[in-house]
Structure 1
Amino acid sequence: MRNWVIAAAAIASTLPAVAQAGEARRAAFGALADGRAVEAVTLSNGHGVRATVISYGAILQSLIVPDRAGKAEEVTLGYADMAGYLKAPNYFGATVGRYANRIKGGSFQIDGTAYTLAKNNGPNALHGGPQGFDKRLWTITSVNDGPTASVVLSYTSADGEEGYPGALTVTATYSLNEKDELSVEYKATTTKATIVNITNHSFFNLGGEASQRGIYGHVLTIPAEATTPVDRTLIPTGELRPVAGTPFDFRKPMVVGARIRDGRDPQIVFGQGYDENFVIARDVSAQPRPHARVEDPVTGRVMEILSNQPGVQLYTGNFLDGTAIGRSGLAYRQGDGIALEPQLFPDTPNQPAFGSARLNPGQTYRNIIVYRFSTAPASN
């Protein structure tokens, strides 16, 4: 892990200084069924990286990144217009909350008061409910050019919305700098004690979204000694299971598809592939730390993910079934994208040993995620 930080610092020190190269451009993107307008903001830097964020769901709608030969291509799954996001959202690029991931039985307690949520994932609640943050229209409050181009979006979730207590005021700040780092910072404050766990649910394919090559050939590293294994409904059992000797050991670089069909491991069977939380730490840190590194050997694209959160959910698009048609006109199938979602552990509100997801009035929730892009040379 330390070598990643040293190498990244060395690379950053060799980058040429580009003053005021970052641009942010605002445009229309479409409309909702009730006529409300959806806007898009595109951030770009001097190295050919471009990120587009839309106000619906605070979604990362597009991310274009050059490969080792300088060819810029789309590296996220998603749609070219609003019709796709309304018809088959699949959480592509979405901001998910108020509580990302699963809550057992769609219920939790705060100070002895029980709260009931919609069960939108079998017997459990998932990603904030049927009308979570990913399906809300956010407000663009700030758009900035400069060495770091940025856009700030905000949303206020009413007290009782989707069953959660407290009016929650949330901001999502997307920033793109000249080190080829795309960051998203989520902040939230509340009027009542509540639970909060917000993350980004982008699906990446570093080989190119239109390449028709899935992510099973990507090489993945996750510096985690354990995972939080789940039951058949994908709720954590409470155990911290060491990754050693399992298909979930990514402490050293491993091809994603090498062990993804190992049916001897019940976790692979339950998730129909990888769909599990990795234990990066047991606390929320002040600054981002390494969560994962992904490399596509064919194009040379490398993505490192850093965050201040204690866990990262690995999901390999196991339930994509070909019915969603993406921006390139291709049917998205199982394994066409990889999601790595920094967050608190799943079902933390019902599992005190995992820590706390509680946010009180006067406190500020914060999740900072950094996607750092670079390229690796071709292997001989």
Structure 2
Amino acid sequence: MNIVTNKILGKWTEYTISNDHGISVSALDFGGIITKIMAPDKNGKLENIVLGYKDYQDYESNPHYFGAIIGRVAGRIKGASFELDGRTYNLEANNGENHLHGGSGGFHQIIWKVFPFKTDSEAGLKLTYKSADGAGGYPGNLDITVIYTLNNEQLIIDYLATTDQTTPISLTNHSYFNLSGNLKNTIHDHRVTIDSSRFVEFDKDLIPTGKLADVEGTPFDFRSGRILRTGFDHCFEQNLIVGNGYDHYFLFDHTSEFQAIIEEPDSGRMISVKTNQPGLVMYTANALENGLQLTESISRKHHGVCLETQGSPASLYNDNFPGILLNAGDRYEKQTIFTFQVLKK
């Protein structure tokens, strides 16, 4: 039976949606933050598979963006500015000289209106927010809806938006997955598959150079699956630049049924990702410091992997990237589906 429950946490509310198989997803109205996903392992044991804080007040600052909705634009915007129709728009420089994840007042820091729903086959949360013209430096009044829907096999995230002026928009969810369950291990032995033959090259400041690099013969070739530790331990320059791991945009080939797959051999858990987004940023928690009190454990570097399906902000200053501009009268409609599976014993 699909159900929705809620719990008041001071000025916030946490909602939990559950399905017939024991899978549940908990999310706050603050930031739309997914705080917990309970999923079975190969023996049927339910454990949490995402990173979250033990003390919910730590979400107030949330410098690692655990579980949050990111926007207006996910990722870094070079020089904290962009040009549109001959005008320069200046944004907050909250990541060195650059603008990251919508700035300090981005969608990860706002209270969303939440409307729970359920049917015979699914349960969900509809989150809405109106972002005013000029908010964060961005043009246009933007009406946003994000929908979390859980059925018996999948978590579906729909991102919908309209604007009255042309504006950049690229929404994503910043959940860190760890399929070992209850953060027992790091993600070194997670196996990831990505339907991508090109990734975006970084300079030393983690800003795209404009080059789409070929994955062939590099630790960025995930087309047939790769254990993450092979990139953590590699001396390849692009791995070293981001702190021995991955924080890169992969442009999808869209030649496979799923655009990405994560597998963890010990637990038998697997998540397949399907989306109409042009690519994803895979971030492997390279900058996650040791010692944070998480729900079930103390944080460590490489304790989770984010699969941030999104457009690339580099398209604002590179013509060879898929665009992220939404025009007045058009509708932003993006969807990402996470299918939960268990590998056979």
Indicate the TM-score class for this superposition, using the shorter chain for normalisation: over 0.9
Match of 2:289 among 321, 346, 351: 321
Amino acid aligned to 2:4: A
Cα offset for 1:254? 1.4
2:197 corresponds to 1:217: no
2:188 corresponds to 1:208: no
CA distance in 1, matches of 2:26, 2:209: 38
2:328 corresponds to 1:354: no
Kept after mapping to 2: 8 A contact 1:232/1:270: yes
Q: What does residue 3 of structure 2 align with?
A: 23
CA distance in 2, matches of 1:91, 1:355: 25
Kept after mapping to 1: 8 A contact 2:156/2:338: yes
Q: Which moved more, 1:302-311 or 1:343-352?
A: 343-352
Match runs of 1:64-75 below 5 Å = 64-75=38-49
Return structure 1 stretches of 4+ with deviation > 4 angstroms: none
Amino acid aligned to 1:267: Q
Amino acid aligned to 2:16: T
CA distance in 1, matches of 2:9, 2:148: 18
Amino acid aligned to 1:337: G
Cα offset for 1:143? 2.8
Q: What does residue 235 of structure 1 align with?
A: 207
Match of 2:59 among 76, 85, 100: 85
CA distance in 2, matches of 1:116, 1:362: 24
Match runs of 1:132-147 below 5 Å = 132-147=106-121
Amino acid aligned to 1:169: D
Cα offset for 1:377? 2.1
2:163 corresponds to 1:196: no
Match of 2:301 among 334, 344, 359: 334
Match runs of 1:1-380 below 5 Å = 21-31=1-11, 38-178=12-152, 180-211=153-184, 213-263=185-235, 265-272=236-243, 273-281=245-253, 290-328=258-296, 330-378=297-345
Cα offset for 1:79? 2.0
Cα offset for 1:301? 0.2
% same residue:
37
CA distance in 2, matches of 1:123, 1:87: 20
Structure 1 residues 274 and 147, CA gap change in structure 2 (3 angstroms): same
Cα offset for 1:367? 1.8
Q: What SS class does the counterpart of residue 239 from structure 2 fall into?
A: helix
Cα offset for 1:121? 1.2
**Tell me, which stretches of 5 or more residues in structure 1 are unaligned?**
1-20, 32-37, 283-287
Q: Which moved more, 1:137-146 or 1:253-262?
A: 137-146
Structure 1 residues 268 and 297, CA gap change in structure 2 (3 angstroms): same
**Tell me, which stretches of 5 or more residues in structure 2 are unaligned?**
none
Amino acid aligned to 1:339: C
Amino acid aligned to 2:273: I
Kept after mapping to 2: 8 A contact 1:88/1:324: no
Q: What SS class does the counterpart of residue 206 from structure 2 fall into?
A: coil
- The alignment yields a C-alpha RMSD, in angstroms, of 1.6
Structure 1 residues 88 and 151, CA gap change in structure 2 (3 angstroms): closer
Kindly tell me the number of residue pairs found equivalent between the two proteins. 344
Encode CA deviations 1:158-213: one digit per residue, 9 max, x unaligned: 111110011111111000012x10011111111211110000110000001331x1
Normalising by structure 1, we get a TM-score of 0.87
Kept after mapping to 1: 8 A contact 2:231/2:239: no
Q: What does residue 11 of structure 1 align with?
A: none
Q: What does residue 7 of structure 1 align with?
A: none
Kept after mapping to 2: 8 A contact 1:29/1:54: no
CA distance in 2, matches of 1:78, 1:222: 25
Encode CA deviations 1:96-151: one digit per residue, 9 max, x unaligned: 00000011101111100110011111221110011100011111134334311111
Kept after mapping to 2: 8 A contact 1:214/1:337: yes
Cα offset for 1:81? 4.5
